[in-house]
A and B are shown apart, each in its own frame.
Chain A
């Protein structure tokens, strides 16, 4: 009974570590991915806009014409693309604390700036070709959730849009995106003539840093962020999250260690006579030590295995809870949400912790001498 409770305790600890670890890791990955969309480019945003990586998370608009102005007046600028990036599209009236959906408006000739080499699923459909059309491409995860296929008509903010392709990508952010022509996005989200990002590529021979400095010098009301600056802004936050994560894991592992050690100390104490008998029989010290450590590691193996399964399920539940994406949709990608290597790491760590928790009881067991134990009993 006590051992069963100990296994449950260890499994709960493992569940907690897996669920919290996988969830934070998932969001950290998504945040890191945000920069992939605009790599090698300087992002220009309004000074009062808060950005995470290249994504503006508060409203702060720039005139669309600023893109042409920069291209015309700043000699280091090669290509300037205005982009409208909107978080939390309101499908079915549901808004989540973590934005599950995004909308990106971009001039039709510049698709590749956002989606890179991402193909359309099954090679079916096409990217919108006309600025004023109502054509959109959508991420595969969104399409799965709402059963959208090519030529499905969808409603966003009361506008009827036509899905012309489904993005076949592994990037979480693109998977949850509706990508549309810039003019359509401006109309849909009420940004007439405005955008919230201008992505600028430096001319060959110029660095992002030079370009950003020139832009900020010439245009007072914008921030021009290089890729390194964007990473540097988020790095302390990610590092802090990582530190908290490691801290929590350490506390949970220490608690598991104490639990396993206590249970094993009690178990050894109750079997003093058995260990003393083994000693009297001439059992090698290693035999007794191994026996107790193996018992402790079995607790780790059983509790860890149960915890990995429960923790993985809990990670999916958390992901679903925070995004309102149906749970079933996460099951096929369970190994992406909780990578096997992470499962293995935590499993190995908890087994190691339990083994370590067995060391002190095992040393106690090795010290049991029949003369002392029997004398204490009589």
Chain B
């Protein structure tokens, strides 16, 4: 999945003032790379991720998905892309509290119309892969924050997305757990050949990323780019 932005801008209106959260960003996601977007709080990282994940609409500029202008996509088509081609990982995990770990993983598959038996098999496999084979029937409030983030990452993988967008995935975690989550994202990127775009403050993610962007006041700058094989 290729994502390209052209002069992407997002302006919020707060009362009478305006905030330019993303300012004429030109950005490209290509191949199975691990991309880090680094910037302080309020710099526009999350807004940019929401835009490229088709969770938000730009004020101006373009988002091209596989060279097709996303502004021409209907709401239903955008939803399908989010459901089948993009996996989201949130800083606050955003697991549904009434569902247990397995059910949280089954939900995106159910939304995608996968048969119940396949949902269960895949959810089981994914939870085992993220090291939670003993937490299948635990609800989010019964899990540690590290476990919750693992479930959230496993959920993002449920429909075999081509890209994972992670918004500060280690922001709520202690350093040891953060390290494990970074390793998990790195593994997914390298083994599954899934593109991972991460907004972060975390130096450890920056260390393993193939491409590093910095963002300040909505302006994105390429800092480092490595060739991915």
Is B90 close to A, CB under 8 A?
yes
The CA-CA distance from A274 to B96 in the complex, in Å, is: 6
Sample of 6 more A-B contacts, CB < 8 Å, known A281-B82, A282-B82, A282-B84? A282-B86, A282-B111, A283-B111, A371-B47, A374-B90, A378-B41
Q: Which of A279, A281, A371, A378 contacts B107 (CB 8 A)?
A: A281
- Closest B residue to A373 by CB, please name it: B94
The CA-CA distance from A280 to B47 in the complex, in Å, is: 13
Residues of B contacting A371 in the complex (Cβ-Cβ under 8 angstroms): 46-47, 50, 55-56
Residues of A contacting B46 in the complex (Cβ-Cβ under 8 angstroms): 371, 374-375
Q: Which of A265-319 contact B (CB under 8 A)?
A: 273-274, 276-285, 287
Q: Establish whether residues A284 and B55, one from each chain, have CB atoms under 8 Å apart when the complex forms.
A: no
- Closest B residue to A287 by CB, please name it: B111
Residues of A contacting B83 in the complex (Cβ-Cβ under 8 angstroms): 281-283
A280-B55 in contact given A274-B97, A370-B50, A371-B50 (Cβ < 8 Å): yes
Stretch at the interface among B73-81, B130-138, B188-196, B203-211: B73-81
Q: Which of A282, A285, A370, A378 contacts B81 (CB 8 A)?
A: A282
Give A contacts to B, CB under 8 Å: 273-274, 276-285, 287, 369-371, 374-375, 377-378
Q: Establish whether residues A370 and B107, one from each chain, have CB atoms under 8 Å apart when the complex forms.
A: no
- Closest B residue to A277 by CB, please name it: B94
Residues of B contacting A369 in the complex (Cβ-Cβ under 8 angstroms): 55-56
Is B186 close to A, CB under 8 A?
no
Residues of A contacting B47 in the complex (Cβ-Cβ under 8 angstroms): 371, 375
Is B218 close to A, CB under 8 A?
no
The CA-CA distance from A279 to B79 in the complex, in Å, is: 8
Residues of B contacting A374 in the complex (Cβ-Cβ under 8 angstroms): 46, 90, 92, 167
Q: Establish whether residues A284 and B76, one from each chain, have CB atoms under 8 Å apart when the complex forms.
A: yes
A370-B111 in contact given A277-B96, A280-B88 (Cβ < 8 Å): no
Q: Which of A273, A281, A284 has the most CB of B within 10 A?
A: A281
- Closest B residue to A282 by CB, please name it: B83
Q: How far is the CB of B21 from chain A (nearest CB, A)?
A: 9
25 chain-A/chain-B pairs, Cβ below 8 angstroms: A273-B92, A277-B94, A277-B96, A278-B96, A280-B53, A280-B88, A280-B94, A281-B107, A281-B108, A282-B80, A282-B83, A282-B84, A282-B86, A282-B108, A283-B111, A284-B76, A284-B79, A284-B111, A285-B79, A369-B56, A370-B88, A371-B55, A374-B167, A375-B46, A375-B47
Residues of B contacting A277 in the complex (Cβ-Cβ under 8 angstroms): 90, 94, 96
Q: Establish whether residues B88 and A281, one from each chain, have CB atoms under 8 Å apart when the complex forms.
A: yes
Q: Which of B41, B56, B79, B90 contacts A282 (CB 8 A)?
A: B79
The CA-CA distance from A287 to B79 in the complex, in Å, is: 12
The CA-CA distance from A365 to B88 in the complex, in Å, is: 20
Q: Which of B65-107 contact A (CB under 8 A)?
A: 75-76, 79-84, 86, 88, 90, 92, 94, 96-97, 107
